[in-house]
Structure 1
């Protein structure tokens, strides 16, 4: 029984790795947002960036598009901020090589790159024109870009919803979080009917006692085509510091791989909402 379970887990992780590593013909940009601050979107964005950087051999970029409240640089272990999106928008040029660009970025573990949204100024906002210039310019250099957006329905987050190839909506794994997330999904379906089939809802467990029926939550939130995947409670993530994958629990690493695989599959699929064996359904506990 245990051998069979271990073999099944190994097979699932292998399928997830294949989905994460699948080739992309043009850069795939993945927006991560939430219904409110504190839901864990920067944590999920960092996990995705670290997972893609680990599994993929092509360039991976993490962009902080929530400079006022986001903690992506902190979660990716940045100790200094040299340049921001605003700075890069003023100098980026089509003739630049990727080696020219990386001088304005910060490296993070696994070989990925980070573009902060500010230089640590309190209350900094990222204007929509700067966001568009930077994201349009960087797409041809990076196969995978993870964007830590503002909470919905802020302007940059709304723009990211319709200009990226896949969307991640982080929800607290609570009754209130699920109800609010359901309302946001209904709002998203009104913005564009094609958004939900390219959306992945992450049920983030911020405490050891979730208190919700995850399967029922998945049935409700995934009814219109979104995938719903849980992120289990992890003591290391709950600590709030830089994310170190070697300190994550095994269940957390497996969940991160499944989420990354599902997001990538939905970003590259020509058929919105097409299923992939990496997750095996709307919910993978």
Structure 2
């Protein structure tokens, strides 16, 4: 699973040089690679095949969370890189979180236009017609903000629905970086148009409570069957964990309701930089995010 998120181009000169894994762990991984159990190798192959599974129509996957923070944009960017690495169709990472531009910074690119520009133009009849509005991240991966920073607040639910559907048909996977700061009508439109949801929260008691509240809101509008299309990613925190927080119990409660749950451990590279350099991520980050991508794609179908 090494270099699942391998970059095929520059990710930005400002990327920190800190590796997700310390040197002894990286050296040890290279030494033992030839002696990995066959079951581990088979599992890695199966995960890769699951991410590559064919789809008849493009999937829209919303990445949301109960509060602002770096976790949500990092998980959105990591998922986009996984899908672009494994799949042969196009991937779009759309950032509708208002005024932050955090997704473009994660990729280390500057966006040129926005979804509002797509809405203002004639409905695109080909990918070549819409490509000039997009910002290329790497092979098969593009990103686009919902609105330009100077036009914050211009993206409404009607514009979103009218522009996204014609645009997303040119992509196998469209990842939508959402957030609780959106106007209610727009947030509802983003959620309603999703084939699957990824809810990202810190691995804390408050984080899990926030996820629970979001689940209640989603289920109130989408019905009990919606849990089959939800994956939760709990991100480990840098500070010492709360000894009173029962992580195992919290995960059990979520999984009993039909939600998929993954834990993304602390990655020194993600903690040290804004721009993600896939070559410097921890091995556990590669493995976990490939599994998340496989599971959310399965649930989106």
The bucket for the TM-score relative to the shorter chain is 0.7 to 0.9
Task: State the shift of 1:123 in Å.
Answer: 4.6
SS at match of 1:72: helix
Please give the TM-score of this superposition, normalised by the length of structure 2: 0.81
Does 2:258 correspond to 1:219? Answer: no
**Take 1:165 and 1:223, find their aligned partners in 2: how far apart are those partners?**
21
Where structure 1 has 5 or more consecutive residues not aligned to the other structure, the ranges are 269-285
Decide which structure has the larger Cα Rg and report it: 2
Match of 2:291 among 255, 258, 271: 258
Task: State the shift of 1:254 in Å.
Answer: 0.3
Greater relative CO, 1 or 2 (CA 8 Å, sep 6+) = 2
Matched with 1:188 is: 218
Of 66-75 and 150-159, more deviation after overlay is shown by 150-159
Does 2:171 correspond to 1:142? Answer: yes
What is the correspondence of 1:1-285 to structure 2 with a 5 Å cutoff? 6-38=37-69, 40-78=71-109, 80-94=110-124, 96-121=125-150, 123-151=152-180, 154-193=184-223, 194-207=225-238, 209-211=240-242, 212-268=245-301
- The 8 Å contact of residues 45 and 148 in structure 1, kept in 2 or not, is answered as yes
Task: State the shift of 1:40 in Å.
Answer: 1.3
Task: State the shift of 1:169 in Å.
Answer: 0.6
- The 8 Å contact of residues 80 and 92 in structure 2, kept in 1 or not, is answered as yes
Cα deviation, 1:109-152, whole Å, max 9, x if unaligned, reads 34301112233338545211121112111122111100001227
Task: State the shift of 1:2 in Å.
Answer: 9.9
**Take 1:126 and 1:6, find their aligned partners in 2: how far apart are those partners?**
51
Report which of the two has the higher share of helix. 2
Task: State the shift of 1:156 in Å.
Answer: 2.5
After superposition, the Cα gap between the structure-2 partners of 1:91 and 1:123, relative to the gap in structure 1 and judged at 3 Å, is closer
After superposition, the Cα gap between the structure-2 partners of 1:197 and 1:92, relative to the gap in structure 1 and judged at 3 Å, is farther
Where structure 2 has 5 or more consecutive residues not aligned to the other structure, the ranges are 1-31
Cα deviation, 1:46-80, whole Å, max 9, x if unaligned, reads 111111000001111110111323511111111x2
Number of corresponding residues: 266
After superposition, the Cα gap between the structure-2 partners of 1:155 and 1:63, relative to the gap in structure 1 and judged at 3 Å, is same
